[in-house]
Amino acid sequence: MRLILLGAPGAGKGTQATFIKEHYNIPQISTGDMLRVAVKAGSPLGIKAKHFMDSGELVPDDLIINLVKERLTEPDCINGYLFDGFPRTIPQAEAMKQAGVAIDYVVEIDVPFDEIIVRMSGRRVHPASGRTYHVKFNPPKVEGKDDVTGEPLVQRDDDKEETVRKRLDVYVAQTRPLVDYYADWAAHSAEGSPVKAPQYRKISGTGSVEAIRQRVVEALK
């Protein structure tokens, strides 16, 4: 299984990815998680990425494309992969197509923006694993602690309301055009592309985490 989870910041991509990656035994390739690791480690990539992330802007395409291409050479990608938060610009999607990176499904998770603001304000994460909780909608078993390791949960630096609004603007301007991009590709799939067009599935991302999980399962049948 090779798929892309597409959706606005806070749509629940990371939350659903936790289940999908276990179900299909594939790695979750979250460019956001990888960048946060790089920032924390103070690597050259992290140093370049930090101010873009803190201001809610996208990190430049060339850095992201190289990061993902390198990740795809690791042996755990042999059975497939789940892209979470990537691609999020047309040039990123085009670079994957040109590199012959195959995708079976693009699953768009659709959530109204006013609900997203509420979700982000209560989000807590376990930085080492990327596991995500919400203080009210998806609480950990023990308050403030990761369910698996018991380690402390933290709030993300870019979850301040003004930064969330900026990220939503960036999503509309730079990532939402991918919806048409994949639809057009599917409609003209015979025209000399190095890889087959993915199937496009749009699901509603409102309701319980479990209800959305069921929709994902249905969408991938």
What string marks each residue from 14 to 43 as x (binds ligand AP5 by CB under 6 A) or -? Answer: xx---------------xx--x--------
Query: What does 163 bind: Zn ion, ligand AP5, none (CB cut-off 5 to 8 Å by kind)?
Result: none
Q: Is 126 in the site for ligand AP5 (CB under 6 A)?
A: no
Instruction: Kindly list the catalytic residues.
Output: 13, 88, 123, 156, 167
Stretch that binds ligand AP5, among 20-28, 74-82, 98-106, 206-214 (CB under 6 A): 206-214
Tallying the residues shown for the chain, one arrives at: 221
Query: Smaller CB distance to ligand AP5: residue 119 or 201?
Result: 119
How does DSSP classify residue 42? Answer: T
SS3 29: strand
Give the count of beta carbons closer than 10 Å to the beta carbon of residue 51: 10
- 187 Cα distance to chain centroid: 25
- Which residue do the tokens 């369910």 mark? 147
- Least distance from Zn ion to the Cβ atom of residue 164, Å: 13
8 A C-beta contact, residue 125 and residue 154: yes
Q: Residue 210, exposed/middle/buried by CB under 10 A (0-12, 13-18, 19+)?
A: exposed
Q: Which of 175, 154, 146, 166 has its CA nearest to residue 84?
A: 175
Q: Is 13 annotated as a binding residue?
A: yes
- For Zn ion (CB under 5 A), the number of binding residues is 1
Q: Residue of minimal CB distance from ligand AP5?
A: 32
Q: Which residues bind ligand AP5 (CB under 6 A)?
A: 7, 9-15, 31-32, 35, 52-53, 56-59, 64, 85-86, 88, 92, 119, 122-123, 132-134, 137-138, 158, 167, 208-209, 212
